[in-house]
Structures are given as C-alpha cells and as structure tokens.
Amino acid sequence: MTALLHVDGVSRRFGGYLALNNASCEIGEGDIHALIGPNGAGKTTLFNVVSGLLRPTVGKVSFKGRDYTGLKPDRVLTMGIARNFQQVRLVRGLSVVENVMIGAHARINRGILGNAAEFFGFSIAEKAAREKARAMLDFVGMAGKSDLQPDELTLVDQRRLEIARALTSEPQLLLLDEPAAGMNPTELLELSALIKRIRKQGLTVLLVEHHMRLVMSIADFITVLSAGSIIAAGTPAVIQRDPAVISAYLGARE
C-alpha cells in the first residue's frame, strides 16, 4: 500500500485543552478510509489540520511524501486535497451551480482553461466551469437543481452540493465530514454508491461518519479517535471486535 497522506505525531491545543494528542495515521492511496470516534474526539480538528485550516501545535502532515504543514487552505486545495464541511458552508445569493463553481477556482487559472481565459476574456473559461459544475451536480445526484438557490435545498442536498464543489477542484484526496448526517435509508444507500463511484474515479476518500452501518460497509480501513488520541486502526472486521473501540464508542452508541 502506498500512503497518500501521512499524519505524523499531530497534536493540537486550544488553550489548555488538547483536542488532538500525538495522532499518527496513514491514508492509503485509493482507499476509503474512515475516521470514527465519539463526539468531541477531535475528528473535525484533524480534518482542519489536514486541509490547512489549523496549524498543528506539534507534528506534521505530508501529502505524496511532501511535508506541507502550515500550508494555507487554498494552497492545500490546489495541491489536491478538498473537503466538505460538517456545518455546511454555502454562499447565499449565488445559485446552486455557482456555489459549485467556487470549487473550480483551484483549477480555473491553470492549464488550458487559464490560457483560454487570458486569450478570450473570462467568458469561455466561465462557461466551461459552469458546464463542469453542472456535470458534477449530475454526478452527485442533483441533476435539474443547478439554478435553485441554496436555501431552497434540503440539508441533504446542501451536503451533496458541497461534495460536488469539492470534486470540482479535481482533488486526489477528498475529506468528507459527516456527509450522511440527516439522511434517510434511501439517501444513505445513494451516498454509499456515490462514495464508491468517487473512489472508482481514482480518488482517495477520508470519511468521518457516525453512521456505523455505512462505515462498516464501505471502509477499507478505519482509524478510531477517542479524546484526541488514536486508540485503534484496522479493517472493519478488526475494529468491530476491538474491546477498546467497543467500550469507547460502539458500545456507547449501538
């Protein structure tokens, strides 16, 4: 297994509180890797460190063997790591498709699109970005909703929109923070299929999720955080049987 992402001895302190305590893990290329743990375990904090929103107090993060600790979120995105947000972040006043297009900014000024933008003005690049964003909305199961306003969407569709936006930046690693929150059983199946399709396109997925049935059915590998520390790591079969995990997490929930 080749590791795409290395988290190496990462701690993050908020005042006197240690939200992450010497956490280390590897995310294998092409894997669906789940990060689970009770509320407040530090999962979103780890996502914030990996996506550049937070600097670790101690430790480092490396992507494809390169240490990028301290790199700003827009640079991390350009490097190939995209995310959604547990608390959905959409821009009101922009349509659904325009909200997705925001994600293309990591790519729009590069390569052929960037050249076109310089040559013809931004209209061609914008048109291409709009088409790509629509295609991405189709991909996440939101065909026909491009021209709505974000607040006309259900929370489930708002979460799907964020996935479409993250994909538009053409990442290699996609971070999904509780994408299943609020989903009914049918929507959960659709999400599961979507995550598998994303992986099939060659992406690596790091998934934070409380929904255990979803996690156990799609994850290749699971890392378990509890109170800031990694307490277990392994395949779903191994994690389900781990006594420390059962007492810290699974037993408490199901």
Q: Which does 73 bind (CB under 5 to 8 A by kind): ligand ATP, Mg ion, none?
A: none
Q: Which does 120 bind (CB under 5 to 8 A by kind): Mg ion, ligand ATP, none?
A: none
Q: Which does 19 bind (CB under 5 to 8 A by kind): ligand ATP, Mg ion, none?
A: ligand ATP
173 and 203 Cβ atoms separated by less than 8 Å: yes
With a CB cutoff of 8 Å and minimum separation 6, the contacts of 241 are: none
When CB distances to Mg ion are compared, the closest residue is 44
* Closest by CA position to 61, among listed 19, 25, 108, 111: 25
Contacts with ligand ATP by CB under 6 A lie at 14, 17, 19, 37, 39-45, 86
Minimum separation from the CB atom of position 138 to Mg ion (A): 29
Handedness of CA 132, 107, 94, 186 (dihedral sign): positive
Question: Of 109 and 229, which has the nearer Cβ to ligand ATP?
Answer: 229
DSSP designation for 85: -
With a CB cutoff of 8 Å and minimum separation 6, the contacts of 186 are: none
Contact call for residue 44 and Mg ion (CB under 5 A): yes
Question: Of 42 and 80, which has the nearer Cβ to ligand ATP?
Answer: 42
Query: What's the full length of the chain, in residues?
Result: 254
Burial 68-79 (b: 16+ CB within 10 A, else e): beebeeeebbbb
Q: Which does 45 bind (CB under 5 to 8 A by kind): ligand ATP, Mg ion, none?
A: ligand ATP
Question: Of 17 and 119, which has the nearer Cβ to ligand ATP?
Answer: 17
CA–CA gap between residue 31 and residue 3 (Å, rounded): 9
Near Mg ion by CB under 5 A, which window of 19-27, 72-80, 85-93, 231-239? 85-93
Site residues for Mg ion per CB under 5 A: 43-44, 86
